Amino acid sequence: MKILGIESSCDETAAAVYTDDGLQSNIIASQAVHEQYGGVVPELASRAHHKTIWHTVQQALDEGNTPLAQIDAVAVTQGPGLMGSLLVGLCFSKGLCLSRNIQLVGVNHMDAHIYANFIDEQPEYPFVSLTVSGGHTQLVHVSAPFEHELLGQTRDDAAGEAFDKIGKILGLPYPAGPVIDERSQYGDPNFHDFPQAMLDNDFEFSFSGLKTSVKYFLEDQDDQEQFLEDYLDDICASVSHAITEVLVKKLRNAIEHTGVETIALAGGVSANSMLRRKANELASETGCKLHIPKLAYCTDNAAMIAITGYMMAQRNMFSDMKMKPFANLKALERMNV
Ligand code: KG4
Ligand code: ZN
């Protein structure tokens, strides 16, 4: 079986080919147009997807040595994401399927982050995934393929969103997660004790208070600019410490609650070096086997869509041409009622 995967939920236009022999290609066209705005501008994102998608798909087919005529199904991100961006990927994929008379698979982007762990490794079920992206922070118990139980999620900002918003306060470019990660390596994580919220709750998260706390901490300084110049690395390290401590503590709760022997990290924030290190320590302490996708499969990519589509196609989980995109998980719930 040969699957073409297409991802267009946010600001990356991506395509990949996954076959019985594994991943054949993985192409990403990132959109530089948003940099000057300090965040993703939805209308510009859809226009950029529209411009780039055909070329990106062609490149994935070429590099994967798989002509379109050999593709059995197109797997495309159905949601969650920006509605205009999702529509570009969905309409393009439906057109391709109709013209070639091939099957369509609608992929949940959050599931795909989890199954990115299967590109290079074979995690054993059941496992718990800590899925941490720009839009979501979730603890998911995966008992079998596509059998997911949501243990808990964030009540406000996602972990990636916290990194990005705090980065903005610190004057760092968007997305700030990777920059804070980099600077943290030169700083002291105990420089300042930022709040770790909701430790009394087993599986739910809250990160919006941390952002406010960083803002007040800076406002308390006499010369903010000088303070940032002197201590930016230490502030970054302390922020990373606060976020990753909470994530790993809740992951520990989930291991204890479910009794799993396998854990996985997923999503853009799983690229974070402090989180990867602490998750490794947790795994050795608890005797769990830890899976973390390689860096290229942590942040948004089409390889994860293609492999998830492949796994869904194996289980006959195809979609029809009426498939609609969903912007958020609440909308998905409504669609499934
Ligand atoms: O999964 P992803 O690519 O997109 C969404 O589905 O949201 O995640 C993007 C998020 C951004 O918030 C970005 O700042 C964060 O992942 N991120 C990181 C790192 N690399 C990406 N956060 C912390 N440390 C990193 N190394
Ligand atoms: Zn994502």
Q: What is the pLDDT of residues 93-128, one digit of tens each?
A: 999 999 999 999 999 999 999 999 999 999 999 999
Instruction: Return mean pLDDT, the chain.
Output: 97
Q: What is the pLDDT confidence band of residue 35, given thresholds at 50, 70 and 90?
A: confident
Query: Are 108 and 131 within one domain?
Result: no
Query: Are 203 and 237 within one domain?
Result: yes
Q: Say whether pLDDT at 337 is over 80.
A: no
Mean of the pLDDT values across residues 308-315?
98
Rounded distance between C-alpha atoms, residue 143 and residue 260, angstroms: 9
Domain of residue 68: give its range: 2-114+297-335
Q: Residue 67's pLDDT is what?
A: 98
Q: What is the pLDDT confidence band of residue 184, given thresholds at 50, 70 and 90?
A: very high
- Is any ligand 1 atom within 6 A of the Cβ of residue 7? no
Rounded distance between C-alpha atoms, residue 44 and residue 57, angstroms: 20
Does residue 250 sit within a domain? yes
Ligand 1, atom 3: closest residue by C-alpha: 299
- Is any ligand 1 atom within 6 A of the Cβ of residue 157? no
CB 49 within 8 A of CB 89: yes
Query: Are 27 and 88 within one domain?
Result: yes
Query: Are 59 and 185 within one domain?
Result: no
Q: Is the peptide bond before 80 cis (omega within 30 degrees of 0)?
A: yes
The neighbouring-strand residues paired with 149 are 141
Atom of ligand 1 nearest to the CA of 167: 14
Q: Say whether pLDDT at 52 is over 80.
A: yes
Does residue 242 sit within a domain? yes
Rounded percentage of the chain residues whose pLDDT exceeds 90: 94
- The per-residue pLDDT for range 259-272, each reduced to its tens digit, is 999 999 999 999 99
Mean of the pLDDT values across residues 81-87?
98
Q: Looking at this protein, which amino acid is placed at residue 24?
A: Q
CB 246 within 8 A of CB 275: no
Query: Are 146 and 288 within one domain?
Result: yes
Query: Are 180 and 275 within one domain?
Result: yes
Mean of the pLDDT values across residues 138-149?
98
Statement: the pTM of the whole predicted model exceeds 0.95: yes
Question: What is the residue whose two structure tokens read 């790993």?
Answer: 248
- Is any ligand 1 atom within 6 A of the Cβ of residue 11? no
Q: Total domain count for the chain?
A: 2
Query: Are 197 and 325 within one domain?
Result: no
Q: Say whether pLDDT at 34 is over 90.
A: no
Q: What is the pLDDT confidence band of residue 133, given thresholds at 50, 70 and 90?
A: very high
Query: Are 262 and 134 within one domain?
Result: yes
Q: Say whether pLDDT at 91 is over 80.
A: yes
SS3 of 53, please?
Answer: helix
Does residue 239 sit within a domain? yes
Ligand 1, atom 10: closest residue by C-alpha: 134
Q: Residue 130's pLDDT is what?
A: 98
Q: What is the pLDDT confidence band of residue 42, given thresholds at 50, 70 and 90?
A: very high
Token couple for 71? 């593709």
Q: How many whole angstroms from 177 Cα to the centroid of ligand 2? A: 13
Query: Are 16 and 93 within one domain?
Result: yes
Q: Residue 37's pLDDT is what?
A: 87
Does residue 119 sit within a domain? no
Helix, strand, coil share of the chain (percent; to 5): 50, 20, 30
Does residue 241 sit within a domain? yes
Helix or strand holding residue 249 (H, E): helix 224-258
Question: What is the residue whose two structure tokens read 């990132």?
Answer: 30
Q: How many whole angstroms from 68 Cα to the centroid of ligand 1? A: 32
- Is any ligand 1 atom within 6 A of the Cβ of residue 271? yes
Helix or strand holding residue 90 (H, E): helix 83-100
Query: Are 205 and 302 within one domain?
Result: no
Query: Are 57 and 163 within one domain?
Result: no
CATH classification at residue 269: 3.30.420.40
CB 137 within 8 A of CB 246: no
Mean of the pLDDT values across residues 49-73?
98
Query: Are 14 and 141 within one domain?
Result: no
Rounded distance between C-alpha atoms, residue 309 and residue 305, angstroms: 6
Mean of the pLDDT values across residues 190-204?
95
Mean of the pLDDT values across residues 202-231?
97
